[in-house]
Each structure stands twice: as structure tokens, then as C-alpha cells.
Amino acid sequence: MFPLNLKELKEWIILLASAVIIALLLRSFVIEPRHVPTPSMVPTIQVGDRLYIEKVTTRFGTLKRGMIITFQAEEQTGQPEHLVKRLIGMGGDTVEIRDRQLYVNDQAVDEPYLAEPMNSDFPKTVVPEGKYFVMGDNRNFSLDSRSWGFVEAADVKGQALFIYYPFSEMGSLWNQSMNFLN
């Protein structure tokens, strides 16, 4: 090893402190990793997948039906951790499941990402302004807005961006949108 002089030591400390501050700012305001502990989003996201969540869209952009979002809804769900679900309905939308088919605003939705056809109906419901209706892709085994109600817009923390681990599942989840059947 070679000895560091005081000037070099100060430079290293400033460099390391700057890196830590930048990493904390990025994690707080731009992007952060998440672990998925439940099967509610199978087959799109598997149990144990690790993904990056981007936080910019929820602050400055516009959410769209079909996006995969994370939110904290402890009051509704009783769970303190962030949940990951698909955004189905926004304020003013009507949501209904009839004959195993999802309808948003009376239009049938094409959902090729579902694990299997839904096995129950859900009555036509209007999503209040400032709230969202969310559902897991594993509809028959997902606790979601059908069980505990709407998600407050202020509780949405980010949009799923990318699965980064395991490598076999790596792929983009960015900016998905909902397709309606004709």
C-alpha cells in the first residue's frame, strides 16, 4: 500500500460522500428496487422477482390504465409494505367483471397477461375522483380493489420499470397500457 496524504484523503472522502448523497437522492426521488413477495401478479411478475420502480411518472406524469404500479395502502389492506398491482380504473371510470370478462367504461378489455380466466363477477362500480381501482394479474388469487376498495392517488409510489433479477425473468414493465376489444 502507498500512504495517502491529507489532500488525497479529503478528495476520497468528498468523492465517497458525493456518491452516497447522489445514490440517496436517486432512491428517494427517481428509482428504487422492490422485491415481490406474493403471487398476485403471476405470470407477469413471479414471486421473488426484483424490480426497479420509477417515481417520476407518479409525481410529474400521467398514469394510464394498464400500468403496473406500486402503492402503500395500509389503511385499506392492513399491510404496511408496498403492493404491486395493475392499474385498471381511474377516477370517473366504471369497472365491471361480467361473464369472466373485464369491462372498463362498458368496453371489454383485452388482457393477454392474465394467469387464467377470472372465476367470479364483480358488479359495475364507479371509481371516485382521486382514486384508482387496481387488480393483480393472477385474478383468482389476488387480494386487490375487489376486496379492499380503492387506492388513493397520493398513496401511489411509483410505476414498475424493469425486472432485474432473476436474470431469466429480466425484462421491461415500463409504460404498459390497456387494450380494449372491438
- Burial status of residue 108 (CB atoms within 10 A of its CB: 0-12, 13-18, 19 or more): middle
- Indicate if the pLDDT at residue 52 is higher than 80: yes
pLDDT score for 105: 97
Question: Known catalytic residue: 131?
Answer: no
Could you report the per-residue pLDDT of 141-159, keeping only the tens digit for each? 999 999 999 999 999 999 9
Please identify which of the residues 85, 131, 142, 145 carries the catalytic annotation.
85
Q: How many domains does the chain have?
A: 1
- Is residue 6 one of the residues assigned to a domain? no
Q: Residue 146, SS3?
A: helix
| pLDDT for residue 151 | 94
Out of 40, 131, 142, 145, which one is annotated catalytic? 40
**Residue 65 counted as domain residue:** yes
Could you tell me what percent of the chain has a pLDDT over 70?
98
Average pLDDT over residues 33-56: 92
Is residue 143 a part of any domain in this protein?
Answer: yes
| In-domain check, residue 119 | yes
pTM score of the predicted model: 0.86
Q: How confident is the model at residue 2 (pLDDT cuts 50, 70, 90)?
A: low
Is residue 64 part of the annotated active site? The answer reads no
Does 2 map to a domain?
no
